């Protein structure tokens, strides 16, 4: 289902719905040190790792550059945080190699949940703000936006 259809369905029958904004930490270092082919390999590997931890109804999209968005229907903010932490840990423990050299990859995650007559845009904006907080905390962590609250 497209994002707009998912949003319309949510407005008609509100159910918990959360978003996770994922960023590959220090991705530009991979491109600069190992080249764009290595960066492409890293993007593909991370996308596969994220997808492998999702359910059939979840939606993964590349947002741009080295960022991804996951839409989690029927998921509370707290459950989305747990999913983000599983994704983060899976990426951190995966061994990524380029030309025989191990290249450590980690991700940071920002999480938010839809509220009331909220829009996807506002929810995504809060998830992005939470992602900024994760980066300020030193990367390789997940942050739930404080306005997401319990669902």
Q: Is 25 an annotated catalytic residue? A: no
In the three-class reduction of DSSP (H, G, I as helix; E, B as strand; rest coil), residue 121 is classed as helix
Q: How far is CA 105 from CA 17, 45, 51, 63, 96, in A?
A: 28, 10, 16, 18, 7
Q: How far apart are CA 71 and CA 33, in angstroms?
A: 32
Which residue among the candidates 23, 25, 66, 128 is catalytic per the annotation? Answer: 66
Q: How far apart are CA 107 and CA 22, in angstroms?
A: 7
E strands of the chain, at which residues?
17-24, 59-64, 67-73, 97-98, 101-102, 107-113, 142-144
Active site members? 66
């Amino acid at each position: 289902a497209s994002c707009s259809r998912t949003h319309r369905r949510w407005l008609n029958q509100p159910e918990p719905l959360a978003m996770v904004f994922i960023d590959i930490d220090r991705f530009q270092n991979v491109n600069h040190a190992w080249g764009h082919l290595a960066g492409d390999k890293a993007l593909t590997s991370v996308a596969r790792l994220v997808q492998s931890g999702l359910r059939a109804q979840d939606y993964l999209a590349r947002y741009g550059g080295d960022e991804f968005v996951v839409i989690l229907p029927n998921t509370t903010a707290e459950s989305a945080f747990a999913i983000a932490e599983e994704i983060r840990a899976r990426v951190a423990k995966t061994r990524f190699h380029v030309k025989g050299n191990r290249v450590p990859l980690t991700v940071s995650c920002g999480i938010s949940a839809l509220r009331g007559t909220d829009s996807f845009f506002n929810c995504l904006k809060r998830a992005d703000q939470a992602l900024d907080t994760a980066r300020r905390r030193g990367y390789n962590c997940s942050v739930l936006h404080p306005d997401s609250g319990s669902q």
